[in-house]
């Protein structure tokens, strides 16, 4: 925790436990990353995988955003899971349940063997148990991919999971109050139009994917 990651408000929502930070990151596969040029901020959604105490990102070597990050621009990363709506008796106390992460740092470009390893970690992280069944990577695919690593050195987390905060007379206001949970679930897999007949069986591992 540093000046940038110290919470100035709602400190009771702060999370410093490393395992909990990891579990919040592991609950999503897409976050956001920002960088700035002459104080103009830029922001893109970006798929990620957490591996130990680092985040791994991938993209095309032709992507301008990733090139800025690769060049060492200071960046800010955030990931967020919306868990529910908190319906209080007043608009003021109405809120959301969420888990969020903010991390600061500078990305490092991975090359050579550690790049290939990271690419496999990303594939396995996004699509668990599938990597070994895929057509192996080609050298030209590795060459066309930029892999970035962001160390999780400067990171903070916030969790909001409280009951509605109504107090006093508000509690008897005649309206339903509570929490409406939001669930992010997988639907029925749809085969590719050109999937050959002999491969139509949906892999069993998909049923174990939870994010």
For position 139 contacting a copy of itself by CB under 8 A, the verdict is: no
User: Do 51 and 121 touch, CB atoms closer than 8 A?
Assistant: yes
Place of tokens 């006093």: 168
CA dist 58 and 66 (Å) reads: 8
Binding mask 22-41 for a copy of itself (x = CB under 8 A): -------xx-xxxxxxxxxx
- Rounded to a whole number of angstroms, the minimum distance from the CB of residue 126 to a copy of itself is 7
Q: Which two tokens stand for residue 182?
A: 């939001």
For position 16 contacting a copy of itself by CB under 8 A, the verdict is: no
- Rounded to a whole number of angstroms, the minimum distance from the CB of residue 201 to a copy of itself is 7
SS3 78: strand
For position 197 contacting a copy of itself by CB under 8 A, the verdict is: no
Q: Which two tokens stand for residue 58?
A: 């991938």
Q: Which one, 52 or 133, has the nearer CB to a copy of itself?
A: 133
- Rounded to a whole number of angstroms, the minimum distance from the CB of residue 16 to a copy of itself is 18
Long-range CB pairs of 26-31, under 8 A, 24+ apart, other chains included: 26/50, 26/211, 27/81, 27/99, 27/211, 28/79, 28/80, 28/81, 28/211, 29/125, 29/126, 29/211, 30/79, 31/55, 31/77, 31/78, 31/79, 31/80, 31/101
- Rounded to a whole number of angstroms, the minimum distance from the CB of residue 81 to a copy of itself is 10
- Rounded to a whole number of angstroms, the minimum distance from the CB of residue 31 to a copy of itself is 9
For position 196 contacting a copy of itself by CB under 8 A, the verdict is: yes
Residues 101-120 interacting with a copy of itself (rule: CB under 8 A): 102, 104, 119-120
Q: Which one, 9 or 52, has the nearer CB to a copy of itself?
A: 9
For position 72 contacting a copy of itself by CB under 8 A, the verdict is: no
């Amino acid at each position: 925790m540093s000046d940038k990651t110290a919470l100035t408000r709602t400190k009771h929502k702060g999370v410093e436990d490393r395992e909990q930070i990891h579990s919040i990151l592991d609950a999503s596969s897409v976050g956001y990353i920002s960088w700035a040029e002459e104080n103009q901020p830029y922001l893109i959604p970006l798929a990620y995988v957490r591996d130990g105490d680092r985040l791994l990102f991938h993209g095309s070597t032709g992507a301008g955003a990733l090139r800025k990050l690769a060049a060492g621009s200071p960046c800010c990363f955030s990931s967020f899971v919306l868990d529910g709506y908190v319906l209080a008796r007043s608009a003021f106390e109405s809120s959301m349940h969420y888990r969020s992460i903010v991390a600061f740092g500078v990305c490092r470009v991975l090359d050579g063997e550690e790049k290939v390893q990271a690419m496999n970690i990303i594939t396995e992280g996004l699509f668990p148990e599938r990597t070994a069944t895929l057509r192996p990577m080609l050298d030209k695919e590795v060459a066309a991919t930029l892999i970035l690593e962001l160390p999780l050195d400067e990171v903070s987390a916030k969790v909001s999971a409280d009951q509605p905060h109504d107090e006093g007379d508000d509690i008897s206001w005649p309206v339903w109050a509570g929490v409406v949970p939001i669930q992010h679930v997988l639907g029925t897999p749809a085969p590719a139009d050109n999937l050959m007949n002999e491969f139509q069986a949906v892999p069993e591992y998909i049923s174990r994917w939870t994010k």
